[in-house]
Amino acid sequence: MDVLPGLWEAHAHLMIVGHSDYDHWDKTYPSRFGSEIMPASAHQLLMAGVTSARDLGAPLEESIAIKRAIEDGEIPGPTLYVSGPFIQHEAYPGTEQFRWGVEGPDDARAKVKRLAEAGVDFIKLIDQDQMTMEEVHAVVEEAHAQGLPVVAHSHRPEEIRRGIAAGVDCFEHTGLGTMPEYPPDVIALIASRANTLFWTPTITPLLLYEETRDNPERIDDPAWHLGLAEDTIADVEASLQDLQRLDYYQLMPRRRPTLQRKFSQLRNAGVVLLIGTDSGVPLTFHTDSTWREIDYWVRIFDVPVMEAIQAATYWPAVQMGVADKVGTVSPGKIADIIAVRGDVLTWPSLLQDVDLVMQKGKRVK
């Protein structure tokens, strides 16, 4: 068996489990986030070999409660690092429970301080191109004053420009829609932060659409049912019928050809890439998202296997400031360890079936 550090999922959403209709989900399930959805998501991640995870956006009370319940051994799940609600210009209608809008720099600082005092581990910033620069600076400066890193979306070029100008620590997604590549000025800004800027490309959802469209039996895998109520399972399954007709996936075929170039640009610019998948978004089940991201990096983007594994173990621990505790199998560190039968450095897809999961020195699988 190959033994390696427990995996990190650097971009998870525990409050969602693959359902394709956000509007329906946001209206129907918030009352079940804390009692069913988030505990189930955490358990599924752990059984997949994920012993640490960043949860990037969920209601504050539930985020802290789940994090502490795992720490206290009350429920199974990876060690969680949570952001609580997104910080943005204005919450999307109906999402105010987990998205907080800001109105001016003072309000931005107050909301970041409120999150910090509640016990979050980092601040999640989105749509910063719709905020004033004063508001963006206020979010980042207050977060850093509270000792918290800032993780920001990178869907649009101006989000990146403003984020880098304000000192964001980590960006998420390859973004830019169907644009073929990052603009030269954006790449220059990214390269100016080489070796100090972290980035989670979240490739998996963009590749899973065509893969599942052509091989829909993946949806029938019962592994993602773990911890979910029967009506929840049926609702998710119903939402994933006839994928080609669903709005969420309409741009996927046009975005897919741009990924190779954008991924290469980020890698060549010298940013530190992390394995994370947007786990929980439509089709992206917590049970199989993380190993797929590793496999895609190696098989499609020609990343050396060891580099991909380090991006799923060591570098996320560095980004979160806990590399002295986890991230490598080293004397004195916490025994977060997984094992699989076979040679992972030759066949990284073996990680889809983790045989042993040890968390904090206790075998949990």
Of the CA atoms within 13 Å of residue 148, those in its CB half-sphere come to 28
Note the pLDDT of residue 172.
Answer: 98
Place of tokens 């019928």: 241
Burial track 137-165 (b if 16+ CB lie within 10 A, e otherwise):
bbbbbbbbeeebbbbbbbbbbebbbbbbe
Give pLDDT tens digits for 314-329. Answer: 999 999 999 999 999 9
Residues in CB range of 85: below 8 A, 6 or more apart: 57, 58, 59, 60, 97, 98, 99, 100, 115, 124
Amino acid making up residue 94: G
Rounded to whole angstroms, the Cα distance separating 42 from 77 reads 4
Note the pLDDT of residue 250.
Answer: 82
Note the pLDDT of residue 256.
Answer: 87
Contact predicate 98/131, CB 8 Å: no
Note the pLDDT of residue 254.
Answer: 85
Note the pLDDT of residue 112.
Answer: 98
Flag residues of the chain having pLDDT under 70.
none
Give the residues across from 124 on adjacent strands: 151
Q: How far is CA 361 from the centre of its chain?
A: 25
Note the pLDDT of residue 321.
Answer: 97
Q: How far is CA 271 from the centre of its chain?
A: 17
Note the pLDDT of residue 245.
Answer: 78
Contact predicate 90/107, CB 8 Å: no
Q: How far is CA 281 from CA 54, 57, 104, 291, 338, in A?
A: 15, 12, 31, 16, 25
pTM of the model: 0.96
Note the pLDDT of residue 243.
Answer: 83
